[in-house]
Amino acid sequence: MKKWFLVPLFVLLATVIIFTGCQQEAQTVTQTQTQTQTQTQTETTIPEPWGTLTDVAATFGYDNFDPNLVSSWSGLMFQNLMRTTAAGDFEGDVLQSWDLSADGLTWTFHLIPNNFFTNGDPVDAAAVKYSIERFADSARSAWSPYLREDYNRVAVNVVDSLTVEYVTAHAEPTLVASFSATAIVNKADIDRVGEEAYFANPSGSGPWKLVGYSTGISVKFEANTAYCRANEVPHFQFYQQYLVPELATRISMFKTGQCDILGLDDYARMKALQDEGYPVEQYGINGTDSFAFQKSWMEEAGPVHDINIRKAMSYSLNRQEICDTWYSGYAIPGGQFFFPHGVFGWTDEIVADAYDPALAEQLIAEAGYPDAFANPIITVYCQASDQDRILYYMSYWQAVGLQVELKVMETATYWSYLGFGPPPEDNIGWIWFWKSWSYACSAYHCANMYTTNGVHKVTNDETANALYAAVTTQLTYEAAREKMAEFQVYVKGLYTNIGVVEYQNYFLYNPATVGGFDGRHTGYAETIQGATHA
């Protein structure tokens, strides 16, 4: 009897094995090459949007429609003052153009005429002035702590209904970065219904308008056919995003056609799906992995106080191997904190340190490690989701003889060390891992890492401070760009933050419903906006 009892068990196991084996079969979709397309501004007849583009998200992030609070969806609904181009420059978003006075103090913004919010109110100078002041108000904007000297703002003046004047205390061409993050909200509507009611169902002037939101379940947008750039009106009538926390469910929904777009942070799975024939689309600027050495200028920082140890930690990392394995080829060696290839100030002088374990061991020996240090243990901190990655990186350091330990900390707790709360203890000599995205111009973020007043408390170097000051006080953006390159080359040599890799941003799409993406690829929202029908 007992033998017969085993028969169904074998049948079940065989079924599981067969199904698992079948995963590599049936490549029914055509793989397409990843491509980044530049925006075409041709005047063509715009067809009526139709169909629904469905997307799944692991989290809705900061679940809010207020663009000042880093809403996940603000890029869909709102236009900003300026926007970035695929080449990493800046152009007007609600602006048709802008002028900067010869002394660099006065910016004159010229708005696009006949531009309307989705409820019919005009995008006028009053709305722009209100939005700028709201964005610069630290009580109502999460972005304000990033910006210096109160947005360098002396006055915001309405010249006429389509012209706004922005006066600064000193020349600061890098303010374009802040302007490109300033979403234009509908002042007239806010005056009518109040901020709370407005942001519950906002009317923006972006390419999509909100038509449905079910808390924690889904959000739905409809193409704004009155969008001021007719050739950028979405091809899909609706864009619906579902919140699906479970990774396996998201992948299954994608494979069964229940969703058209799938973004993955799991590069091995993304590669597997790409190998099955699903096309991927690259978007945005590369992000970077880096390690920040907290207060390493202090002697109490232990081994990482010695630049040789910090350099050894860089030279012992096999960046190409990390790109090939952990990132399954979706990354390239190099980059620095908020500073990947192609961004403001990028220079080819910045080259990733080569993998040279012999040099690393020599530097470690020169530092007298471990005997020269009372406590030779180097502590790396990261959030829980990064543990596996950091353990992998640590294996390189251990291989050259460094004694490294890992401690996990909630990111939210770590923010308290950055000035956003009272820190529970001093963080001298800690190493914190950053997986950060980037912007076309990340001058302010970089200042936080490399200047004495920066919130990261990583670098305390007068030359770095002076070089950064030069970046933000030039008369022109081009001059600032050159200064930024000088600044980045210098701070790389300090080894207070070591860049590891630049990871590329991709999502998968279902070729049965999506033909490609013909819009700007400057970010996720902009890329989705250009989705075409199969």
Partner 1 sequence: MARFIVIRLLQCVVAFFGILLITFFLLRASGDPSTLLASPNFSLEQVQALKAELGLDKSWGEQLGIYLNSIVHGDFGESLLKKKAVGIMIGDALPNTLKLMVPSFVLAMILSFILGVLAATYRDSWWDNLVKFIAVLGQALPGFWVAIMAVLIFSVKLEWLPVAGMDTPAHYILPMGTLVFFTLPGMMRLVRSTMLDVLDSEYIKMARIKGLPERTVIWKHALRNALISPLTIIGMLLPGTVLGAVITEQIFNWPGMGRLLVEATFARDFPVVQAVTIITAILVLGINLLVDISYAWVDPQIRYQRT
Interacting residues with partner 1 (CB under 8 A)? 1, 4-5, 8-9, 12, 16, 19, 22, 62-64, 69-70, 138-139, 142-146, 214-217, 242-246, 248-249, 252-253, 255-256, 258, 410-413, 415-416, 419-421
Closer of 120 and 194 to partner 1 (Cβ): 194
Smallest gap from residue 288 Cβ to partner 1 (A): 17
Main-chain phi, psi angles of 301, to 5 degrees: -70, -10
Main-chain phi, psi angles of 108, to 5 degrees: -115, 120
Closer of 64 and 108 to partner 1 (Cβ): 64
Rounded to whole angstroms, the Cα distance separating 167 from 247 reads: 48
Smallest gap from residue 54 Cβ to partner 1 (A): 11
Look-up of token digits 């995008």? 123
Rounded to whole angstroms, the Cα distance separating 52 from 218 reads: 13
Smallest gap from residue 420 Cβ to partner 1 (A): 6
Question: Which tokens sit at 492?
Answer: 């790389």
- Under 8 Å CB-to-CB from 270, ≥6 apart: which residues? 264, 280, 328, 330, 506, 508
Rounded to whole angstroms, the Cα distance separating 83 from 91 reads: 5
Smallest gap from residue 409 Cβ to partner 1 (A): 11
Smallest gap from residue 199 Cβ to partner 1 (A): 11
Closer of 38 and 138 to partner 1 (Cβ): 138
Residue 381, beta-bridge partner list: 407, 432
Q: 34: left (phi > 0), else alpha (psi -120 to 50), else beta?
A: beta
Question: Which tokens sit at 432?
Answer: 């914190």
- Under 8 Å CB-to-CB from 12, ≥6 apart: which residues? none
Tallying the residues shown for the chain, one arrives at 534
Smallest gap from residue 473 Cβ to partner 1 (A): 25
Question: Which tokens sit at 293?
Answer: 């050495």
Closer of 63 and 486 to partner 1 (Cβ): 63
Nearest to 504, CA basis, from 264, 315, 290: 264
Smallest gap from residue 22 Cβ to partner 1 (A): 6
Closer of 296 and 448 to partner 1 (Cβ): 448
Query: Any idea what the Cα angle at residue 20 is, between residues 19 and 26, rounded to 5°?
Result: 70
Rounded to whole angstroms, the Cα distance separating 162 from 195 reads: 23
Amino acid at site 266: D
Closer of 239 and 495 to partner 1 (Cβ): 239
Query: Any idea what the Cα angle at residue 437 is, between residues 434 and 442, rounded to 5°?
Result: 100
Smallest gap from residue 57 Cβ to partner 1 (A): 11
Helices (H), 371-426: 387-399, 411-415
Tell me, rounded to whole angstroms, the distance of Cα 298 from its chain centroid.
Answer: 31
Nearest to 291, CA basis, from 490, 435, 505: 435
Nearest to 80, CA basis, from 127, 122, 41, 138: 127
Closer of 141 and 168 to partner 1 (Cβ): 141
Strand 261-263 and strand 506-509: the pairing is antiparallel
Smallest gap from residue 97 Cβ to partner 1 (A): 30
Smallest gap from residue 5 Cβ to partner 1 (A): 5
Closer of 398 and 411 to partner 1 (Cβ): 411
Closer of 342 and 424 to partner 1 (Cβ): 424
Closer of 19 and 33 to partner 1 (Cβ): 19
Smallest gap from residue 412 Cβ to partner 1 (A): 4
- The answer to whether 416 and 422 have CB atoms below 8 angstroms apart is yes
Closer of 7 and 374 to partner 1 (Cβ): 7
Smallest gap from residue 441 Cβ to partner 1 (A): 17
Closer of 74 and 318 to partner 1 (Cβ): 74
- The answer to whether 123 and 132 have CB atoms below 8 angstroms apart is no
Report the 10 Å Cβ neighbour count for 504.
21
